[in-house]
Structure 1
Amino acid sequence: MKNIISTILLASGLMLSAQVGINTNSPKAQLDVNGDLNLRDRIAVFNDTDKSLSFGNNDQLLVSQGEGYAPIWKTLRIPEYEPNKFYLIFNNSFSDKVGVDLSYSEEPNMSTSKAATFTKGASFGSLTGFKKISGLSQKISVFSTESKAYFQFETVVQANFTANGSTDTSIDYACGIFVDDKLINLRQSNLKASSAQFPFLTHNQIGVIENLSKGDHTVSVGCSRLTSYGDAPNRRLAIGKNTNTNINSFIAQSSLKVEVYEVPQAFNTIIN
């Protein structure tokens, strides 16, 4: 009899009150439970559109959609990491069709040798004559103190040389990969005149840096025209863009691929 009376009183309370509190005199919702909640059966979500009940699937979680909207079932996918192993965490690629033009007047007057100037960690601002390829400046994120970042840069270098069989007409140039405006990789090359007009070459380089600090970093690519020989001072050098119509901007465009491998430091236990 006591159970029947208690049930009747509880039902009456639910009908008469907009908010019901269990173990609290100040409920903050229609049903406010201050304490442990033990459910012995299923939880269902009512779909107001088709008036159906959704019980979800095994290993799904209820996720709030905000005030005024019913929660929905979501599957939480957490990869299972093995300690002390590197995993690919970030992978992206970027392209640029604007490129840079480098004239003879922009060649740096280097007071020290190239070997002394082009050193790992040199700041972009200290390398006179370098221009950034704007579309390749991008942010990357690192989440672990143990990481390896790989950068693959590819572009086309072209000069508007006239047909000239003499190899004395040529231009030295260099391209560097920078992280937070610090040089991590540099490659120097030379474009020579030939018997064909408007020669071009494909430039490819790969840079690696380990254990970047956790957080956001900016990767960028910059190039410089170093030295001109023969008739080259009168000629234009372009990197990541075409100087003449024997190739187009699609062929000459630059690309940068970024991969960040990390040893994860936040582990989430997976219970099957």
Structure 2
Amino acid sequence: MRKILSTLLLASGLLLSAQVGINTDTPKATLDVNGDINFRNKIVLLNATDNTLSEGNNDQLLVSQGEGYPPTWKTLRIPEYEPNKFYLIFNNSFSDKVGVKFTNGEEASMTSSRGATFNKGTNISSLQGFKKINGLSQTISVFSTQSKAYFQFETVVQANFGPNGATDTSIDYACGIFVDDKLVNLRQRNLKASSANYPFLTHNQIGIVENLTKGNHTVSVGCARLASYGDTTKTLAIGTNTNTNINGFVAQSSLKVDVYEVPEVFNPIIN
């Protein structure tokens, strides 16, 4: 009996210290199972703090926390996408306090009508007199062939006109939104002199482009001085100030970008 007991104790000690393999003669872990595993009841984790057992919740997964740390239950927060519906995939806003200025010598010299010049898809290099607002040039990513990108541009435009109530003293200008240097949206406006010194206005425009190719794209904003009337010697400022009745904070530019897509890289889930 003493020999049998000693043998059992020795075998138990070996089991406690050795690696155990099921369906393998060369286990590579404390317990190495080579084959399918079927758990008929529950998997539980021991909480070493209070020695309680945790079974996890529905839809939770057992996740490793790295070598030397116990595993834990985690919930995967995967959004549910329905087929053929657009979802907001990218959203960001950018700002710029530098802006651009135009003297009378930087006015665009257009050889054809504005209607013939400003066409969707025109490269900015073909639009004379346009300057980019550098801080608004940013990279966006598109992951689906079905997408809609919305752009909202806002800035302040000022000229250093003195007090003049004459309506024929004014400056025409234009601002365009570009994707990969191609025009996708343009607005023209006119800043008029008034009875006040150094008039300014708030400029807003919204653009949209559909079904950009998948990959990275650069969105940018560029503006131009088109024509002057009356006193043509004055400076035009867009996204910055010409005089101290407003400051750079007030005059700064902003661009908001939203990209909606019909997801292609997610498995659709229908409830």
TM-score, normalised relative to structure 1 = 0.85
Cα offset for 1:269? 5.7
1:208 matched to 2:181? The reply is no
Q: Is the 8 A contact 1:192 1:199 kept in 2?
A: yes
Of stretches 200-209 and 47-56 in structure 1, the one that deviates more from structure 2 is 47-56
Are 1:159 and 1:238, in contact at CA under 8 Å, matched by a contact in 2? yes
Q: Which amino acid aligns with 2:250?
A: I
Report the Cα distance in structure 1 between the residues aligned to 2:11 and 2:253, rounded to whole angstroms. Answer: 72
Counterpart for residue 142 of structure 2: 142
Aligned twin of 2:254: 255
Q: Percent identity between the aligned chains?
A: 74
Distance 2:89 2:13 in 1: 56
5+ residue gaps, structure 2, are 1-7
Q: Secondary structure at the match of 1:85?
A: coil
Q: Give, in angstroms, the shift of residue 9 of structure 1.
A: 10
Q: Which has the larger radius of gyration?
A: 2
Aligned partner of 2:175 in structure 1 is 175
Question: Paired residue for 1:189?
Answer: 189
Say whether the 8 Å CA contact 2:82–2:270 is kept in structure 1.
Answer: no
What one-letter code is carried by the residue in structure 1 that aligns with 2:143? F
The CA deviation at 1:241 is 1.4
Can you list the C-alpha shifts for 1:93-129, whole angstroms capped at 9, x where unaligned?
A: 2222221122222223233332232211111222232
Q: Output the TM-score relative to the length of structure 2.
A: 0.85
Separation in structure 1 between the aligned mates of residue 202 and residue 151 of structure 2, nearest angstrom:
17
CA contact (8 A) 1:178 1:221 kept: yes
Give, in whole Å, the separation in 2 of the partners of 1:271 and 1:62: 25
In 2, the alpha carbon distance for the partners of 1:126 and 1:28 equals 67
Give the CA deviation at 1:26.
3.8
Does structure 2 conserve the Cα–Cα contact (< 8 Å) formed by 1:78 and 1:268? Answer: no
1:97–1:254 Cα contact (<8 Å) kept: yes
- Shift in CA distance, 241/68, structure 1 to aligned 2, threshold 3 Å: farther
Q: Secondary structure at the match of 2:115?
A: helix
1:11 to 1:249, Cα distance in 2 relative to 1, 3 A: farther
Deviates further, 67-76 or 243-252: 67-76
Distance change (3 Å), C-alpha of 1:36 and 1:134: same
Query: Which residue number in structure 2 is paired with residue 4 of structure 1?
Result: none
Instruction: Report the CA distance shift for 1:31/1:131 in structure 2 as closer, same or farther (over 3 A).
Output: farther
Map of 1:1-150 to 2, 5 A cutoff?
A: 14-17=15-18, 19-46=19-46, 54-150=54-150
Q: Are residue 161 (structure 1) and residue 161 (structure 2) matched?
A: yes
Distance 1:11 1:60, change over 3 A: farther
Return the letter of the residue paired with 1:243. T
Q: CA deviation at 1:8?
A: 9.1
Of 50-59 and 256-265, deviating more is: 50-59
Query: Which piece of structure 1 moves more, 93-102 or 142-151?
Result: 93-102
Aligned residues: 264
